Chain A
């Protein structure tokens, strides 16, 4: 992080794009603040008033998926790294949180219920013990995924493994993680995962009021992550990231290290996924290998593609829309949803690579480009991006 900051200080200020001379920086800031205020009003006031408790808890789940989507939008849309293993980081965050909550449910000194059930262990495994403390578990939900991403990313990016190779490696990471979790049933809960989580730092999760509190925490975190992503996209680092996507060799010749630039985006995306996983656990009450494997990992990506991969809001809206459509349709037509999901992948990625945001972008160019912008550029440089 620090090296990038030092490097980026020497960047010559990018010339303002010619397409939008009227919009000054202050106006953009105003639009952004207004946008966040609108989003906050929607999430904090309208949604809790309009939606039933059940629907609100579903929305909380979707917002967790949207957090992962913000990270993917950054790494893939802006950085050109197709991360197909975000489920791993989601899972690391989720399991770290769930381990703490299970230990808290069991009470100090006791073992979680499933360990007693399987009866393979006489005492708590060593690597579970630190998670009894919230001061370890809570930072771990974010730092653990970031550390894994840092190790893998620095190994892979330094050796210039990229494009399809990186995508396949990240997917293989998801496969390995799931097999490991299932194999170690005695300590991880195996296929079932960690289930039946009842308390959340002293609050009973069965109580609808506390469920609402969890929803508010999730909504607030989502907005904070959006602000972070916007900042990263707008600052000089964001320009550098897009430059690496569009012409990695050129950036190298200009004196930057593309590996570091990519690593930052990948690690930040992993941290976002970890936080999302950690908040998913109290919202849904379960974390299991089926939620983090190859299939869910690639499903995180489709929401981003539908919404518009290179935009700020596109991934969030796309992820929520796809997750909502899944719930709405798969209840009634389970088979039909799979067909539709397959078609979404095909149609959106092949024929509308800018996502739905590009339709809006096409309709109203100009000022809207700050939010839904850079689509034409994405499409044109697609070939070089990979």
Chain B
């Protein structure tokens, strides 16, 4: 029983990391149909932002807290720049966007190598987040994992509220549901796109800050994560957040369980097979936005 709950928590914390990364994608890919392979490099930018801030502010706790908004803005600004320079020319060609942003991600990786050097760097975690909490029943949970779980939960809540309540959120939903109708209703769709991209990319920056708590920071850290995050969005279904949330945790638990029963590599293959099987059942993902458009 203890093992089971322990594994469940491992799965949930893997899911929380996936969720943090996939949330930004759910906005840019799910809501705008743009495949941004450079999303992983925005994560990297967030992580390096934390690293740089820690060089300036030596108190690990404060630098981490300050890094959260700063990384959001840094990654968001990079996203807006990318959208403005390249992606907005390619909205009609989603597959080509994939290849173009892959090129951008190569450039950003090399840029990181030239600025920070190829070897990985490490940040110090604040003391509060290094220990474990022992729960009754002999289960221990790591503080940093709990922090990431809280961060992911907070991001989901904030994003949901923003999309539901704020005027910008209303416009974003309108553009997603019917771009042409939104445009003739007086919504500046190009500006909404840019803001969506800012928020989506900014969330990648936040994910990057969280990842500094789990491992080293390197130029290629984004590449390894991005595929899993894309799968989360694909399986979750485009156009809404709840699918992303459910699937992120489901895949995390599946991965952890598979890893416990077999090995890491077999678990990865299991997850892939499960995804293909799931898409047989629901090719459009778990939840879909119903529209009358011909797809």
Contact = CB atoms under 8 A, between A and B. Distances in A.
A305 interface: yes
Given A160-B283, A168-B231, A349-B103, A180 B265 contact: yes
Which range holds the interface residue count of chain A?
35 or more
B269 A179 contact: yes
A298 interface: yes
B234 A165 contact: yes
B269 A382 contact: no
Given A180-B269, A343-B107, A344-B103, A353 B234 contact: no
Interface stretch (A28-36, A38-46, A169-177): A169-177
Label chain B's interface by main secondary structure: helix
A258 B93 CA distance: 21
B86 interface: yes
B95 A342 contact: no
A329 to B, nearest CB: 13
Contacts of A305: 99
Contacts of A175: 227, 268, 272
Contacts of A169: 231, 234, 275-276, 279
A339 B230 CA distance: 25
A84 B102 CA distance: 12
A82 B98 contact: yes
A349 B99 contact: yes
A207 to B, nearest CB: 38
A164 B95 contact: yes
Contact of B264 (A183, A335, A338, A350): A183
A345 B106 contact: yes
A383 interface: yes
Given A168-B230, A338-B110, A345-B106, A173 B100 contact: no
Interface string A119-145: 000000000000000000000000000
B94 A294 contact: no
Interface stretch (A2-10, A151-159, A224-232, A356-364): A151-159
A180 B276 contact: no
Nearest to A305: B99
A341 B106 contact: yes
B264 A341 contact: no
B290 interface: no
